[in-house]
Structure 1
Amino acid sequence: MATESDEGGRPGFADAPHYHGHRERLRERFRSAGADALSDYELLELVLFRALPRRDVKPLAKELITKFGSFAETVHASEARLREVRGLGDAAIIEIRLIAATSARVAKGKLKSRAVLSSWTAVLDYCRTAMAFADKEQFRILFLDKRNQLIADELQQIGTVDHTPVYPREIVKRALELSASAIILVHNHPSGDPTPSAADIQLTQSIVAIAGPLGIAVHDHIIVGKNGHASLKGLRLI
């Protein structure tokens, strides 16, 4: 009776799928040279390996990068948009979204371990990681104590693609509840362009006007987008 053979010619085994060798070569390149040696779609392949162990994931990884634009935009894509991709099931979607969640948790950990104003790079890294690639506007507030240590980081509102309802008195009320001495306002522009709008400037000035007499400083309002960030303080708008 005829028998099947594996890649090494041993009887009784079917040929191993062609992508098995590719997976090991990709893992070895990551081990030896690091993530910078891999393209966006190759890094995404590594993410998908565990969720899709019996499938050649290279075409799927390339399709995701083409659809969303980059590795960062793919892992920050909403679950609804990921589900639009044929062949991407629950397990794979969880693996992809886990990357974004892990990145945000690491960035937040760095922020909490030091005085915020003395580690501005960590602030920007966290804000961009948490919000820059979101497909809807989000408004976040960092509440600080008198030593500029982070007391709380709260997502206040989620809006539409170009508008988030924000209420200055509610923000100041929350700062008082937390006994915060200062706040940093953060929101994203899903368009990618972080240039502040007239409404952004007016809102910030309204919050400053209410918070100031109560002893709460507004250190900055940071706007993030996939194309960079803008600081209203840096632009001398507050």
Structure 2
Amino acid sequence: MRRRQQGKSDAAGLAEVQPHYLGHRERLRERFVTSGAAALQDYELLELILFRILPRRDTKPIAKAMLERFGSFSEALGAPAHLLEEIDGLGPTAITDLKVILAATQRIGRDAIQNKPILGSWSDVIDYCTAQMAYETKEQFRILFLDKKNRLIADEVQQTGTVDHTPVYPREVIKRSLELSATAIILVHNHPSGDPAPSSADIQMTRQIVDIAKPLGIEIHDHLIIGRSGHSSLRGMRLI
């Protein structure tokens, strides 16, 4: 009898020292399973991600701190590592795990535009470019190279610059297009400031590329500028 009572006492003691957030985790998982991600707020979805990364931490305050610091779910995952380190509870290993998750979402976006005509899935192209570039802290200039059926041949970052400038060499753009036997390209670059409005330099550079490409039979479908607040299309703005 004494042993049985002692066993019950030990079990009760273990129950008492269980972290308070474990029950919350199970309820949140159950809500995700039964109702899907749409039923969760952004900080709750971040919590679910952080559960596996930080199994011995209460992740709700960490998730809320990330959203407060960076403004949105996407910006929280896309934030530079040195800024994520400023969040109490996030160390190098956790940050690496978050970047692995970000890379996985970017790969999913890339797969969504491969092996089918890009012009028929324009929203997927915008989503992909946004996921890849919107939260970069330096300007990147990338090119989507397309075949004669407007399917993706390659997606390459050609140049990485500063916070407000990327050097672009139109003849190098065309040279690479010829190397890949691309018959059309989509130019893309980001504005780390968040404002996707094209500058006069953006417009001038694009027109130079169009002028060089046209005699060679290479179509410039568009030049997209990606920012955190949205995107601009030079074709849509009738600037090319």
Task: Return the TM-score normalized by structure 1.
Answer: 0.93
Which amino acid is the alignment partner of residue 148 of structure 2?
A: K
Cα deviation, 1:58-113, whole Å, max 9, x if unaligned, reads 11111111111111101011122212223211231123212321111111101003
Matches within 5 A, 1:188-227: 188-227=190-229
Higher alpha-carbon deviation: 146-155 or 28-37:
28-37
Structure 1: 5+ residue runs without aligned partners?
Answer: none
Shift in Å, 1:159: 1.4
Match for residue 134 of structure 2? Answer: 132
CA distance in 2, matches of 1:14, 1:20: 11
Match for residue 13 of structure 1? Answer: 14
CA distance in 2, matches of 1:40, 1:165: 37
Shift in Å, 1:11: 4.4
Aligned-pair identity in percent equals 60
Q: Compared with structure 1, are the counterparts of its residues 4 and 62 closer, same or farther at alpha carbon in structure 2 (3 Å cutoff)?
A: farther
Shift in Å, 1:118: 1.6
Tell me the matched-pair count: 236
> Is the counterpart of residue 146 in structure 1 residue 148 in structure 2?
yes
Match for residue 186 of structure 1? Answer: 188
Matches within 5 A, 1:1-238: 10-11=11-12, 13=14, 15=16, 16-238=18-240
Structure 2: 5+ residue runs without aligned partners?
Answer: none
Task: Return the TM-score normalized by structure 2.
Answer: 0.92
Which amino acid is the alignment partner of residue 212 of structure 1?
A: K
Is the Cα contact below 8 Å between 1:4 and 1:13 reproduced in 2? no
- Runs of 4+ residues over 3 Å off in structure 1: 1-6
Is the Cα contact below 8 Å between 1:48 and 1:95 reproduced in 2? no
Which amino acid is the alignment partner of residue 227 of structure 1?
A: S
Higher alpha-carbon deviation: 127-136 or 140-149:
127-136
